[in-house]
Structure 1
């Protein structure tokens, strides 16, 4: 469908020649519409496969689907379908001129902006309308109680507010962010359409979460947020790679071109550093420390003795961290990486555990500023 103009060169499709209206529809609207319909069915297929795979809980199914749906869409919607025309042209021309691959990327990739605009606008208006109308859930709410609800309990369950399918919505929003951010310097007009998309969904979600959706059944403990952050980082990485390739393609522009390449490479290095920092500081705490208790520990560091390993997996009682070291992790782990805390404790001599009681004989001397209360 994307290369429908090339099909007109074959004898079987000669009826397409000179028919600009049909060519415009098939190369513009139809591919994005078919793609959006297929992507709307994909969550049900992935959910079924996860059931067959043997996933034990619903929360695990949703978290795994959140991850897989995003990468499936990133590959099949963004890297394959959206760029199919540019990749095809790059592959054909690079065979005869392999040394101009970077230049071909610079000239061919911006031509895919039309496909991205069509897909974003399609999701912005059709997706937003589908979200606000809620046609299928509305019909089921009237049909299920009359046809299948035989007891008062079944009627009550059928009439309860529906749940928000965040495992299917978040990957789609992350994909739109990827499209907008990666094309922000290639074809900036895409940003206006992405702004319309997020603006419409903000207004709709604001109403839906207040009056429509039931959030009492959400039971992931906030684990969907780190996955969303990782999806955003994927979009940032792809965008920065595009920027670096564009700067390399303009290497012949002069001395300033080298400086632009250094800046583009520096952005990637900074992003990698931020990514490693997030994985080192926040991800272990999210996996092993409840958010509410983490806030309590930050306010009262002495409570850290209740968490023998804030950043590492639980071990034997003899391998538990000293009290002062746990206090240091609880207080400073959100500011600096764990290895920096360990290094400072090692230098200051505050990392010597007491193997008798797994604590410190004098916690105030080991870590000044922390109170030692035997009653806690």
Structure 2
């Protein structure tokens, strides 16, 4: 569990840096209304519509809260939030990245939210010197591209994959596991890490199509049933995961499904149906939203009309890091990039310090398991690192 005193003291320091005084921007639908004395902007980059929108909306709402609070405290010099809706598609990412790059007032990006779109947009952001802090893209290779502008506010799949594998091995004590992935940079990478840890316990694996391209999974269901497994791992996103779980259950397969953070959303339960989803284990290199310090949960609900979801708090923290830099007078892309590179401080979700490749300091990474219980995703336990 997080040390409460350190979180409160450090969190107050971080929020104090963002509060009061002069910073910058104009009002928009995503910010408090007001003048444009400074005109600076930050953007959220992720899916706000389409089959992967639920996680992106969680994150965008966290960013909205950070900007809303900042603008109330800096009414003479607001920051505008620009929403860049990728629909989670790597194909759309380069065009959206260029749109952000061409707007000279955009100083930093919260996102991209997903690994595939990060792969596609990262080279453009790097060339333009536009800093990005992803709250959720977890493929380890993203930090190995030599991009100077890439930073990650969560652990990567080298922490989450083994975490999921350890849960399957030590908590579920499953010795016959079937692994499925959606062939995305994120899903396949996560599945590979699980397979590495479980070794011979993986008795079969298969691939499906993601991005809403496949809705019928009878072939893989037949293979899983024939393998007679006692656990199923899925690497991918919630829409396909829900349909697979629904079809597995309909075929009489009761082995629990374990999946990563791309499935860790209430939309998975909607896709699968509450009865089929019951008992599913969902991992995340993040803490439960209920663990967020201070009044984040209450403020989030007051602004957005809903409880914070997966990565709402890390997106909020990522936005606050950018806003802290603007507050400190780093109102060029070069200046804000240098600020983020040297940043160290507490947020509502974690302590932030970036190491080589823009990774979050591994000492700050925590992996949690969540469980679907009575139709809701609830915290289960923090997974030990080894």
Task: Verify same fold: TM over 0.5.
Answer: no
Structure whose residues are more often helix by fraction:
1
Normalised to the residue count of structure 1, the TM-score between the two structures is 0.23
Structure whose residues are more often strand by fraction:
2
More relative contact order in 1 or in 2 (CA 8 Å, sep 6+)? Answer: 2
Structure number with greater Rg is 1
